[in-house]
Amino acid sequence: MAIVFKQETFRDDFTYRNSPENIRRFPFPFDRDEYMYSVNMEPHVKGREGTVFESLIDVDEHYVAEMQDRALVLKEDPLRYQALPHMMTAQWDTLELLMEEQAAGYPEHFTLIRNGDQWRWINRPLGIDDTFTFGDASTLPYEPLEYITRQAQGDFCIVDQRDGNLWMDAGMVTTQADWSLDFDIGMNFMEWHGPVPLAHQIGVFDRALKFLLNLQQGKPTRRFNWTMTINPRLDTSPENYHKWGPDRTTVTSENVGEKVHLRVELQSLWRLPRSNAILFVIRCYLMNMEELVTVPKWARRFPRVLKTLPAELVDYKGLTRYRQTTIDWLSGFDDGAPTSPGIFPD
Amino acid sequence: MSGGTEIPVRVTKVTPVADRIKRFRFERLDGQPMPYFSGGAHIIVSMNDGRHVRRNAYSLMSPPQDCSAYEISVLHVEDSRGGSAFMHEKVREGDEMKVSYPVNLFQPDWRARKHLLIAGGIGITPFIAMMEQFFREGASFELHYAVRSHDRGAYCQELVERYGPHRVKIYCDAERNFIPLTRLLDSQPLGTHLYVCGPSGMIDGVLKAGLEAGWPEQNLHSERFLSSQPGKPFDIELLRSVKTVHVGHHESMLEAIEAAGVDAPFLCRGGACGQCETAVVACEGRLLHHDVYLSDEEKASGRKVMICVSRFEGNRLSLDL
Look at strands A260-271 and A221-230 and give their pairing.
antiparallel
Q: Is B295 on the interface with A (CB under 8 A)?
A: no
Residue B219 lies in a domain: yes
Residue B1 lies in a domain: no
Q: Is B137 on the interface with A (CB under 8 A)?
A: yes
pLDDT at A210: 83
> At B186, which CATH number?
3.40.50.80
Residue A10 lies in a domain: no
Half-sphere exposure of B12 (CA within 13 A, CB side): 12
The answer to whether the complex's ipTM is over 0.85 is yes
Q: Is A138 on the interface with B (CB under 8 A)?
A: no
Q: Are residues B244 and B182 in the same domain?
A: no
Cβ-defined contact of A219 to B101 (cutoff 8 Å): yes
Q: What is the mean pLDDT of residues A114-137?
A: 97
Phi/psi-derived region of residue B259, left when phi > 0, alpha when psi is between -120 and 50, beta in every other case: alpha
pLDDT at A41: 79
Let me know if A223 is a catalytic residue: yes
Distance from CA of B35 to the nearest CA of A (A): 7
Residue A252 lies in a domain: yes
Residue B281 lies in a domain: yes
Q: With contact defined as beta carbons under 8 Å apart, do B252 and B55 qualify?
A: no
Q: Are residues B125 and B219 in the same domain?
A: yes
CA distances from B98 to B56, B95, B246, B251, B310 (A): 11, 10, 26, 20, 25
Q: Are residues B124 and B86 in the same domain?
A: no
Q: Are residues B124 and B190 in the same domain?
A: yes
Residue B189 lies in a domain: yes
Q: Which of B40, B101, B110 sits opposite A216 (nearest CB)?
A: B101
Length of chain A: 346
Residue B228 lies in a domain: no
Q: Are residues B310 and B243 in the same domain?
A: yes
Q: What is the dihedral of CA B312, B318, B320, B321, to 10 degrees?
A: 80
Residue B105 lies in a domain: no
Residue B186 lies in a domain: yes
Confidence tier at A37 by pLDDT (50, 70, 90) = low
Backbone angles phi and psi of A269, in degrees to 5 = -125, 130
Q: With contact defined as beta carbons under 8 Å apart, do B117 and B131 qualify?
A: yes
Selecting among A223, A274, A283, A321, the annotated active-site residue is A223
Q: Is A46 on the interface with B (CB under 8 A)?
A: no
Q: Give the residue among B313, B272, B268, B266 at the shortest CA–CA distance from B294.
A: B272
- All residues at 6 or more sequence positions from B111 whose CB lies less than 8 Å from its CB, including other chains: A86, B191, B193
Residue B228 pLDDT > 90: no
Among B100, B122, B153, give the residue marking a domain's end.
Answer: B100
The mean pLDDT of chain B is: 92
Q: What is the dihedral of CA B49, B54, B55, B57, to 10 degrees?
A: -90
For residue range A231-275, what is the model confidence (pLDDT) as tens digits?
Answer: 999 999 888 889 888 888 899 999 999 999 999 999 999 999 999
**Best residue in A87, A276, A279 for a mutation probing chain B (most B CBs within 10 Å):** A276
**Best residue in A158, A166, A214 for a mutation probing chain B (most B CBs within 10 Å):** A214
- Residue range(s) defining the domain that contains residue A240: 20-331
Residues of A in contact with B292 (CB under 8 A): none
Between A61-70, B20-29, B153-162, B267-276, the lowest mean confidence (pLDDT) is in B267-276
Residue A6 lies in a domain: no
Residue A200 pLDDT > 70: no
Residues of A in contact with B41 (CB under 8 A): 276
Residues of A in contact with B35 (CB under 8 A): 217-218, 273
> What is the domain count for chain B?
3
Q: Are residues B134 and B197 in the same domain?
A: yes
* Chain B stretch 144-203, residues whose beta carbon is closer than 8 A to a beta carbon of chain A: none
> What is the domain count for chain A?
1
Q: What is the mean pLDDT of residues A167-173?
A: 97
Q: Is A125 on the interface with B (CB under 8 A)?
A: no
Residue B67 lies in a domain: yes
> At B53, which CATH number?
2.40.30.10
Q: Are residues B34 and B77 in the same domain?
A: yes
Q: Are residues B119 and B218 in the same domain?
A: yes
CA dist., res. A305 & res. B312, Å (int): 48
> At B251, which CATH number?
3.10.20.30
pTM: 0.90
Helix-helix angle B125-137:B156-163, to 10 degrees: 10
Residue A107 lies in a domain: yes
- Residue range(s) defining the domain that contains residue B191: 114-223
Residue A185 lies in a domain: yes
The mean pLDDT of chain A is: 93
Residues of A in contact with B38 (CB under 8 A): 89, 273-276
Among B77, B100, B123, give the residue marking a domain's end.
Answer: B100
SS3 B208: helix
Q: Is A165 on the interface with B (CB under 8 A)?
A: no
Residue A110 lies in a domain: yes
For residue range A278-310, what is the model confidence (pLDDT) as tens digits?
Answer: 999 999 999 999 999 999 999 999 999 999 999
- All residues at 6 or more sequence positions from A153 whose CB lies less than 8 Å from its CB, including other chains: A58, A59, A60, A62, A63, A66, A67, A283
**Best residue in B7, B36, B100, B110 for a mutation probing chain A (most A CBs within 10 Å):** B110
Residue A343 lies in a domain: no
3-state secondary structure labels for all residues of chain A: CCCCCCCCCCCCCCCCCCCHHHHHCCCCCCCCCCCCCCCCCEECCCCCCCCCCCCCCCCCCCHHHHHHHHHHHHHHCHHHEEECHHHHHHHHHHHHHHHHHHHHHCCCCEEEEEECCEEEEEECCCCEEEEEECCCHHHCCCCHHHHHHCCCCCEEEEEEEECCEEEEEEEECCCCECCCHHHHCCCEHHHHCCCCCCCCCCCHHHHHHHHHHCCCCCCCEEEEEEEEEECCCCCECHHHHHHHHHHHHCCCCCCHHHHEEEEEEEEEEEECCCCCCEEEEEEEEEEEHHHHCCCHHHHHHHHHHHHHCCHHHHHHCCCCCCHHHHHHHHHCCCCCCCCCCCCCCC
Residue A13 lies in a domain: no
